[in-house]
Amino acid sequence: MRLTQCGVWTINPLLDDRWPEFVDRHPNSSVFHTIGWLNALHTTYGYEPVAFTTSAPSEKLTNALLFCVVRSWLTCGRLVSLPFTDHCEPLVENIEQLRALCTHLETLRRTQRWKYAELRTSDAFLAAEESLSECKVYRWHRLDLRPSLDALYKGFHKDCIRRRIRHAERQELRYEEGRSESLARSFYDLIVLSRLRKHLPPQPLEWFQNLVACMGKDVCIRLAFKGNQPVAGILTMKHRKKIYYKYGGSDAALNKLGATPMLFWQAIQAARSAGMEELDLGRSEIENQGLIRFKERWGAHSVRLTVWRGHTDVISPSVERLKVRLAKTICICIPRTMLVSVGRLMYRHVG
């Protein structure tokens, strides 16, 4: 623990005994604030978790801004809240705490010569912080699970969701869920297929293995099989009264079977039976209208999710799209078998 001149303490959440209870207590916390998620990031990519708080070591932890230190010779050092994370809300009690922590954040960024510090939040208060600039905007979808299962089902799109669920139920698909190594590897095979289909390198297998190892019962892999062939899979996580959809993959040649909607329906039924109150469907790029429509067809509602950076040049959306197109063009030229190795090497630099 370190104390700065402005009264802000620097702590390591993995070593501070107060952190688990604080995350479990704070109303804005998510699965991404938990020890399990932070351990998986640290174990797989070497990112160092760090949090800033005005609570002294002898006091109860009441507020924090959580980051990971990303050290990269390729993409420069920076603070990110958090890498490969859809959102990570500031865990504060009031705007005064947030301002004090943001002031310290900018001072630290300058003294440590970080390229930038990044926050991913729906918190509109950050717009008033002069040290932060809006970098990118997403839509963040969530589905209220408190209505009855019958009411939830009737809220799904009749043709695109309900009909596909019924179709999948007639296909004699085999359903499995759990955290076994065999399930993880079958799920990863589907992830690889989906990423290569989009001309993108897949995440390393170790990332999914470490998620299972670090998060234990809070992570679940759901797979649909046609015979012995994996058709589709989703990975969900849970924290308090919320279930989080994080990853999904499928064999495009068998998408007509309707396995993916069936898996979501299985997850929703299990979450509802366990007393969960919300399904977090994660963020979607504004340009990805197909993904946004898919989430809305489940009855999910969205809010604006903003990526804030301090301090860096304003990023032009057109320049970002050009970078993505160039990256995909390069990936198209790389043999598919090599893209898996590329993903293992590059992901620690892009978090």
* pLDDT tens readout for residues 274-302: 999 999 999 999 999 999 999 999 999 99
Whether the predicted pLDDT of 128 surpasses 90 = no
Q: Where are the alpha helices (DSSP H) in the chain?
A: 19-25, 35-45, 95-112, 149-154, 163-169, 181-197, 205-215, 259-273, 289-296, 317-333, 336-350
pLDDT at 350: 84
86-108: b (≥16 Cβ within 10 Å) or e: bbbbbbbeeeebbebbbebbbeb
What is the Cα–Cα distance from 304 to 211, expressed in whole angstroms?
27
Could you tell me what percent of the chain has a pLDDT over 90?
72
Predicted confidence (pLDDT) at residue 333 exceeds the cutoff of 90: no
| pLDDT given for residue 200 in this prediction | 84
Point out the least confidently predicted range of 36-50, 92-106, 307-321: 307-321
Which region among 24-28, 123-127, 175-179 has the lowest average model confidence (pLDDT)? Answer: 123-127
Contact between 221 and 255 under an 8 Å Cβ cutoff? The reply is: no
258 torsion bin: left (phi>0), alpha (psi -120 to 50), beta (else): left
Query: Which is the CATH superfamily of the domain at 2-138+306-328?
Result: Gcn5-related N-acetyltransferase (GNAT) (3.40.630.30)
> What are the residue ranges of CATH 3.40.630.30 in the chain?
2-138+306-328, 146-276
Residue 97 has pLDDT above 60, yes or no: yes
Specify the pLDDT at position 344: 80
Residues in the chain: 351
pLDDT score of 319: 46
**Model pLDDT for residues 70-86, shown as the tens digit of each residue:** 998 888 889 999 999 99
Q: Report the pLDDT value the prediction gives residue 52, as an integer from 0 to 100.
A: 96
Task: Work out the mean pLDDT of the chain and round it to a whole number.
Answer: 91
DSSP E strands in 110-151: the ranges are 117-121, 133-144
Least confident of 16-20, 128-132, 157-161: 128-132
Q: Is the pLDDT of residue 326 over 90?
A: no
Rounded to whole angstroms, how far apart are CA atoms 229 and 177?
A: 15
CA torsion, ordered 342, 346, 350, 351, to nearest 10 deg: 100
Q: Is the pLDDT of residue 134 over 60?
A: yes
Q: What is the band of 153 on the pLDDT scale with cuts at 50, 70, 90?
A: very high
Check residue 198 and give its pLDDT.
Answer: 84
Q: What is the pLDDT of residue 196?
A: 86
> How many helices (H) and strands (E) are present in the chain, helices listed first?
11, 13
Segment 128-143 shows an average pLDDT of 88
pLDDT at 215: 97
Q: What integer pLDDT is reported at residue 76 of this predicted model?
A: 87
Residue whose C-alpha is closest to residue 116's, from 73, 89, 85, 76: 76
Q: Tell me, what's the pLDDT at 328?
A: 59
Average pLDDT rounded to a whole number, residues 108-124? 88
The helix-helix angle for 35-45 and 205-215 (nearest 10°) equals: 150
CB 91 within 8 A of CB 33: yes
Match domain 146-276 to its CATH number in 3.30.590.10, 3.40.50.410, 3.40.630.30, 3.65.10.10: 3.40.630.30
What percent of the chain shows pLDDT beyond 70?
90
